[in-house]
Amino acid sequence: MQRQKLPELICPAGSLPALKAAVDNGADAVYLGYKNDTNARNFAGLNFDEKTLGEGVRYAQSRGRHVLMAINTFPQPGREADWQRAVDGAAALGVDAVILADVGLLDYASRRHPDLRLHLSVQGSATSYEAVNFAQREFGVRRAVLPRVLTLAQVEHVIRNTTVEIEVFGFGSLCVMNEGRCWLSSYATGESPNTVGACSPAKYVKWEKSPGQMTTRLNGVLIDRFGDDEPAGYPTLCKGRFEVNGETYYALEEPTSLNVLEILPEIARIGVAAIKVEGRQRSPAYVTQVTRTLRAALDALARESERYHVKPAWQAELAKVSEGNQATLGAYNRPWR
């Protein structure tokens, strides 16, 4: 019997220890970014300078793994050269691909570095095969990361109508916006992932403790109130609770994590090239746990094919690092459609 072709496992590296954890626990590739605002996960204390990037590339590639460089924010007026230098630096250090969202930067990279493999970032918001094929035709894009708004049937429709490799998200936090183009964060703070590289930047966050509760604010905007017996999550606008018609609840998005373990056979069947784990802002321990679990599941799928089943131990491991200890299939499964 022919061995089933597995999607690659693409894991986050917000630091050198996280990169090594991903590689050591079975990632096929890691994705990472610079310590600046060319990176949509530009959190303080994370990411790579030239020295650590060089070390990370050597560590991964010497073990047969790939390094994907995310330069996935949008160049700001008058500063286009900063983003171009980021692409040049990535190419010089020998990364296996760069992940780009901006069409001007895609054009620059394709002309300046014709041998550099280009991936279309999820922030490029390509939800149709026409958009994916445009990026291939104009810039030679080899892979596209699809936004987390498509059903599996829609993902399959894209795959059937393009020769571009398709990558989808398999685990981690969700986003109610057009994949990082956060109008809510921008409205409240003037800064968002596509401009400064961070959702609800920490400098705007304020925690206020009072008897019996914790209040969180973002640039003065009340986000949530937590009782002493409730875990207080990071205050982002989309995951705050709001009073709506006399009820208080998560009006936009509950704190929960995407988890595709149960639909891995379908993801492989329709020809998905790669499964991506969200979480460059998360710890090396998170990367270890998620990478090891998904590697075990993918290897089991390769061995067992139609006899594949989700082991309770896998779900238990992923539940430990899921937001709010909750999991969802997100848009992949829309029972109401």
Q: Total structural domains in the chain? A: 2
Domain boundary among 232, 249, 266: 249
The residue type of 216 is: T
Helix (H), strand (E) at residue 285: helix 284-304
Judge contact between 122 and 93, C-beta under 8 A: no
Residues 202 and 139 in one domain: no
User: In terms of residue numbers, what domain contains 208?
Assistant: 183-249
Are both 89 and 207 inside the same structural domain? Answer: no
Total Cβ atoms within 10 A of residue 180 = 22
Do 205 and 144 share a structural domain?
A: no
At residue 189, the pLDDT reads 92
Separation of alpha carbons 280 and 275, rounded Å: 15
The answer to whether residues 239 and 203 belong to one domain is: yes
Q: Which of 222, 249, 276 is the last residue of a domain?
A: 249
Question: Is the same domain home to 100 and 58?
Answer: yes
* Euclidean distance between CA atoms 21 and 26, whole angstroms: 9
Phi and psi (nearest 5°) for 70?
-90, 110
Q: Please give the pLDDT value at position 337.
A: 47
Task: Provide the pLDDT for residue 128.
Answer: 97
| Cα atoms in the Cβ-side hemisphere of radius 13 Å centred on 162 | 32
- Report which of 107, 109, 111, 82 is spatially closest to residue 98, judged by C-alpha positions: 109
Q: What's the sign of the alpha-carbon dihedral 253, 254, 255, 256?
A: negative
Name the nearest CA neighbour of 277 among 122, 86, 109.
122
The list of the chain residues with pLDDT below 50 reads 1-2, 336-337
Helix, strand, coil percentages in the chain from 3-state DSSP, rounded to 5:
40, 20, 40
Residues 39 and 150 in one domain: yes
* pLDDT computed for residue 1 by the predictor: 36
Mark which of 227, 249, 271 sits at the end of a domain. 249
- Angstrom distance (rounded) from CA 175 to CA 36: 22
In the three-class reduction of DSSP (H, G, I as helix; E, B as strand; rest coil), residue 211 is classed as: coil
In a domain, 3, yes or no: no
- Which pTM was predicted? 0.92
